[in-house]
Amino acid sequence: MPGFELIGEEERAALNELMDEGGVLFAHGFGPMRKRYHVRELEAAFRDKLGANDALCVSSGTAAIKVALKSLGVTYGDEVITQCFNFIATVEAIVDCGATPVIAGSDETLNMDPTQLEGLITKKTKAIMPVHMLGVPARMNEIKAIAKKYKLPVIEDACEAVGAKYNGQYAGTLGDAGVFSFDFGKTITTGEGGLVILQNAEMAEKSRWYHDHGHMNLEGRPRGLDRAGITGFNYRMSELNAVVGKAQLAKLDYILEESGKRFKVLCDGVTVPAFKKRAIPEEAEPAFDTVIFEVKDKNLRDSTIALLSDMGFGTKNLPDAMNWHCSVFWDHMGFDTRTPAAMETLALLERQIAIPVVLGRSVEDYAALADALNALAD
Ligand SMILES: Cc1ncc(COP(=O)(O)O)c(C=O)c1O
């Protein structure tokens, strides 16, 4: 979330520099008119920062999911397993490929419950897509073990977990592919934008083709005489977004460090049992952008939401944007939304309150919030 709070001189200077360099906003060609290829530079910077094999910038996180699915050939009649607590984009991308979303419920981490996975795998399953919701990685060891047993690829939706880690490795680099969003609400932002982390060379090639109308960028051929390797689409990122992205990426470690202080003060400071902290897998280090408590008592839940509003923190998606984050509400997409696992997850989600971690509020503000929550439950 804090990326937008830190938009400032660095982003402004990067945009001005782009204009001074020739003002080419397209990520391909126009060599004589430009000095650099910023989209390619952002991809390399992300690849190196995250320790990944390959990275591809695209126009949004939603596009990143679609590109990853298409690079696997996901199509009509296929099934992709994802989770109930989610953002609608993940399921939209599956449906847009002509495939059917199959929904796993959540465990106490609020992410994909790996114990449900084997029961959901069928002959039609093409991929497993865990989603690291609100900054906390899913139980990837267990998910990957099941994927390996059934020889299924894993696409991590790490849109809400830029900078989070699992087993010391960045979220998004643990599966065959990982996707990030840089929309305006994310840890770092390019306004709109996304990234596909590609660990598998065949998926990387198909992703590059697909996001650019199928262009194979064959060596020695001008773009106009290039060949198409796949039925593609346009999900390219522009140079404008890329220069902002490079400035934001340089701020990522600072954002994580400062968010971590606020996250810790709030988590450690709330000591009353009426507020149950979200479980975090022991292998995981969150991106620290949200603190979630389960509050079973309805009256206490209501008074907590009122207190968060009074103190100017508000809530983040739980409970204020449930319709967009719980698959039970997505009947319009024509799949079975009301499975027992999904209904159970809805009940679990209805007891949660998610508090945004922002840098515009001080560490002391979060300590004061912890005190106020303890007092409220007394
Ligand atoms: C988990 C998740 N997946 C996908 C997306 C889609 O990203 P974008 O808004 O960049 O299309 C989001 C954005 O909110 C998200 O939270």
Domain residues for 345? 253-377
Secondary structure class of 277 (helix, strand, coil): strand
**Cα gap 61→338, rounded to integer Å:** 26
| 324 shares a domain with 240 | no
Ligand 1 centroid, distance to 58 Cα (angstroms): 13
Give me the pLDDT at residue 250, please: 98
Taking only the tens place, the pLDDT of each residue in 148-159 is 999 999 999 999
116 and 13: one domain?
yes
**Closest approach atom of ligand 1 to CA 86:** 1
Picking from 318, 269, 309, 374, the residue whose alpha carbon sits closest to that of residue 135 is 318
**284, 134 in Cβ contact below 8 A?**
no
- Where does the pLDDT of residue 160 fall: very low under 50, low under 70, confident under 90, or very high at 90 and above? very high
Location of structure tokens 């923190």: 313
Interacting residues of 308 by C-beta distance below 8 A, sequence separation 6+: 314, 315, 353, 355, 369
Can you tell me the distance from the alpha carbon of 224 to that of 5, in angstroms, rounded to the nearest whole number?
Answer: 41
Residue 378: pLDDT over 90: no
DSSP code of 119?
A: G
Percent of the chain with pLDDT over 70: 100
> Mutate which of 183, 241, 289 to test ligand 1's pocket (most atoms within 8 Å of Cβ)?
183
Catalytic center residues: 186
Supply angle C-alpha 229, 234, 238, rounded to 5.
Answer: 120
Neighbouring-strand partners of residue 80: 101, 127
Cα–chain center distance at 13: 27
Is residue 239 within 8 A of residue 185, CB to CB? The reply is no
Instruction: Report the atom number in ligand 1 closest to the C-alpha of 181.
Output: 10
Q: Based on the structure, what is the number of domains in the chain?
A: 2
28-42 pLDDT, tens per residue?
999 999 999 999 999
Last-in-domain residue among 229, 249, 269: 249
304's enclosing H/E stretch is helix 298-310
Burial class (CB in 10 A: 0-12, 13-18, 19+), 359: middle
Q: Are 223 and 260 part of one and the same domain?
A: no
Residues 226 and 105 in one domain: yes
The sign of the torsion formed by the CA atoms of 141, 147, 153, 154 equals: negative
* pLDDT attached to residue 186: 96
- Residue with token string 């209501």: 302
Whether residue 365 is found in the same domain as residue 321: yes
Res 1: pLDDT: 65
Ligand 1 binding pocket, CB closer than 6 Å: 60-62, 87, 89-90, 131, 157, 159-160, 181, 183, 194
**Hey, what are 87's tokens?**
């953002």
CATH number of the domain to which 132 belongs: 3.40.640.10
Specify the range with the lowest mean pLDDT, choosing from 21-35, 129-143, 236-250: 21-35
Domain boundary among 232, 249, 266: 249
User: 3-state DSSP call for residue 112?
Assistant: strand
Do residues 211 and 290 both lie within one domain?
no
The answer to whether residues 206 and 90 belong to one domain is: yes
pLDDT value for 353: 98
Residues 356 and 317 in one domain: yes
In ligand 1, the atom with minimum distance to the C-alpha of 194 is: 10
Residue 209 shares a structural domain with residue 260: no
223 in the same domain as 312: no
- Alpha-carbon distance of 134 to 126, in angstroms, equals 26
| CA-closest candidate to residue 337, choices 80, 77, 83 | 83
Looking up residue 301, the CATH number of its domain turns out to be 3.90.1150.10
Edge to edge, what strands does the sheet with 352-356 contain?
276-277, 290-294, 352-356
Quick: pLDDT tens for 271-317.
Answer: 999 999 999 999 999 999 999 999 999 999 999 999 999 999 999 99
CA 298 to ligand 1 center in whole angstroms? 30
Task: Tell whether 337 and 230 lie within a shared domain.
Answer: no
Q: ω into residue 319 within 30 of 0, thus cis?
A: yes
In this predicted structure, what is the pLDDT of residue 298?
97
Interatomic CA distance for residues 222 and 182, integer angstroms = 31
User: Does 265 lie in the same domain as 217?
Assistant: no
- Residue-wise pLDDT for 205-247, tens only, equals 999 999 999 999 999 999 999 999 999 999 999 999 999 999 9
Domain end residue (candidates: 249, 280, 304): 249
Would you place residue 140 in the very low, low, confident or very high pLDDT band (cuts 50, 70, 90)?
very high
Q: Residue 363 C-alpha to ligand 1 middle, in angstroms?
A: 28
